[in-house]
Amino acid sequence: MNLERFNEYVNKYKAIPVSDELKEKTIKAAQSGNTGQKQQKIHFLNPKNLMRFTAIAACFALTVAVVLFAALYGFPRLPLRKSTDGFGTPYPPSSPARSENNAGGVSAVEEETDTEQNNDGNSQETIIENFDQNVTNATKPNMNKGATTQIKGGVKKPGVGADKPAAFKENPFIKTSENPISTFSIDVDTASYVIFRRDIANMSLKEFQNSGGFIRTEEAINYFSYDYPKPTGDVPVAVTTAVGNCPWNPNAKLAVIRIAGKELDAAKLKGSNIVFLIDVSGSMETEDKLPLLKKALAHAVENLSDKDTVSIVTYASSVQTVLTGAKGSEKSRIINAINKLKASGGTAGADGLNRAYSIAQDYFIRGGNNRILLATDGDFNIGPSSVEEMKQLVTRKRESGIFLTVLGFGVNNYVNGDERLEVLADNGNGGYYVIDSLEEAEKVLNKQLTSVLYTVAKDVKIQVEFSKNAVDSYRLIGYENRALANEDFNNDKVDGGDLGSGQTVTAMYEIIPKDDSATELFTVKIRYKNPDSDTSLLYQHTGKISKNLNADYYFASAVAEACLVINNSQYKGDASLNHAYQMAQEYAGSSSDKSKQEFIRILKKLIS
């Protein structure tokens, strides 16, 4: 801009008189401003730029710090909601109690989510249900017609926390004209009943049901001991059956298949090579976890002998070998090593498993019992941690002849805890037990230690073929996540459950008969492998109507009836907790079995 052009502009558009002196000052001021701007651009290290550089440097330093922290300790796996565990606990022992204003079992966040609408008018519930259907279709196994399974996942449905299974579908009635054969794997796990027992002590049945809690029925039935006929000779299993009237369905029969494992003579055993794999991560610091774990493992150590070898591996952010190759008679040395453990850091569970298998291989006892006892709350957050990754890991390792038993402590999260631990045990050729008290530790790790440690038959599968002439339809009670395709029964590459020394397994069918006069209703086939063999053997038994039913039959049926009510089953019919209590009281009320007495007290509390 120059003075002449400015003069022309002002003279053309002026509205008021402007002196030449003012015009000249205005032009100089504009030129001075332009020059200043140019000069500012020249000065690179002016105060504003220095502030920018300082902020960038601070962000870079923070990023480096976060990356280093993740590399050393891992990111903690935080729950999406601070609500309930996979079995309905709204406030686990290690967590504060719920607010009285939220006694219905659903958090305020959940209530808001349940009524939320998306932009195109569909409710959040509809979207979740559609996604659940996709999950069901994608994960449904190839099995015999009519068989169903428990669909597991972390998808939240209304009224159910994000750490629960996406859906639970019970086994349906199946017509024998469509499929007379039922195939499944045995289950000796008891964790589900223990978690229910712990939870129901702190809530009502309605709260338990409203929060999505349930019991795996087979684990409740198999939690208790029964006096079944024992095997004789060299056969490690014995199968018997009992059939009577169904307590909750007047049109049905209740068939009970009873399996008993051979009892081993501890004095004749070669000994055990045991690796205690202990989770000492930060999540294990509460009283129901590492402190209880230390006391519980002391029970197991007291039962070891000079023939046994003990090693200890711990895992948190990293893996530590605490003890190797100690004799079972060195009890003080082993217990002192356990008592020194402290909880802190992340949870590198997969690395811990790899180290434990490696040490177990170093001290392998040929012809003996080689086993890892994993003690954890199930929360893995460093390295491979998904259920499928864990399954692949232990499936590969079990081929070495080293079995895995899982002890759960303070298991409060379904997806990150219970489900993962069950999968580890099932695929590691071992059992899954939850220890919630010293009494339970005494039961599992003292009285039943031989059953826990020594397997008498592995990959045990059951196949039941019903008579089309005598049976109209049938329903397997429980074992939803143990269903197998019929063709898998004869396939030795397909894994089954494992039976320990002296253990018993109970399976039940609700049967709709065609003719009450029929005597032979079904045939039971059992396939199993000896612990050191990869080839299965066959055992057969014919199921008939029973004339004499004993106390074990009626107590087991009382447990099944109670589970139908607790799970609010669509097949519960006339089942009631009051009738289950009366049955249990009549047939086990005078029993010296503390577990059965405790079950009776639980039922009494629920109906009072």
Tell me what pLDDT residue 109 has.
30
Better-scored residue on pLDDT, 20 or 158: 20
pLDDT at position 164 over 60: no
Tell me what pLDDT residue 103 has.
34
Band (213; pLDDT cuts 50, 70, 90): confident
Token code pair at residue 285: 């610091």
Tell me what pLDDT residue 559 has.
98
Tell how far CA 212 is from the center of its chain.
15
Tell how far CA 347 is from the center of its chain.
17
Q: What is the mean pLDDT of residues 521-536?
A: 95
CB atoms within 10 A of CB 164: 30
Band (167; pLDDT cuts 50, 70, 90): low
Q: What is the mean pLDDT of residues 259-286?
A: 93
Eight-state DSSP code of residue 263? P
Band (163; pLDDT cuts 50, 70, 90): very low
Q: What is the mean pLDDT of residues 498-519?
A: 90
Whole-angstrom Cα distance, residue 513 to residue 521? 8
> Which range among 162-171, 210-219, 285-294, 422-431 shows the weakest confidence by mean pLDDT?
162-171
Whole-angstrom Cα distance, residue 476 to residue 183? 10
Q: Which residues, at least 6 apart from 418, have a Cβ–Cβ distance to it below 8 Å?
A: 86, 87, 191, 192, 195, 378, 408, 411
pLDDT at position 134 over 70: no
List pLDDT tens digits, range 359-415. 999 999 998 899 999 999 987 766 666 678 878 888 888 888 999 999 999 987 554
Mean pLDDT of the chain: 80
Nearest Cα neighbor of 359 from 397, 307, 392 is 397
Tell me what pLDDT residue 517 has.
67
The b-or-e profile of 527-563 (16+ CB within 10 A means b, else e) is bbbbbeeeebeebebebebbeebeebbbbbbbbbbbb
Tell me what pLDDT residue 381 has.
65
CB atoms within 10 A of CB 565: 21
Nearest Cα neighbor of 263 from 502, 500, 451 is 502
pLDDT at position 485 over 60: yes
DSSP per-residue letters across 43-91? -TT-HHHHHHHHHHHHHHHHHHHHHHHHHHH------S-SS--TT--SS
Nearest Cα neighbor of 599 from 295, 121, 200 is 200
Q: What's the length of the chain?
A: 608
Tell me what pLDDT residue 417 has.
66
Helix (H) or strand (E) holding 586: helix 577-588
Q: In the chain, what are the domains?
A: 3-38 (no CATH), 180-264+457-543 (2.60.40.1230), 267-453 (3.40.50.410)
pTM of the model: 0.73
List pLDDT tens digits, range 530-585. 998 999 999 999 888 888 899 999 999 999 999 999 999 999 999 999 999 999 99
Nearest Cα neighbor of 253 from 545, 576, 17 is 545
Q: What is the mean pLDDT of residues 119-133?
A: 37
List pLDDT tens digits, range 316-345. 999 999 999 999 999 999 999 999 999 998
Tell me the range of 26-35, 118-127, 506-515 where mean pLDDT is highest.
506-515
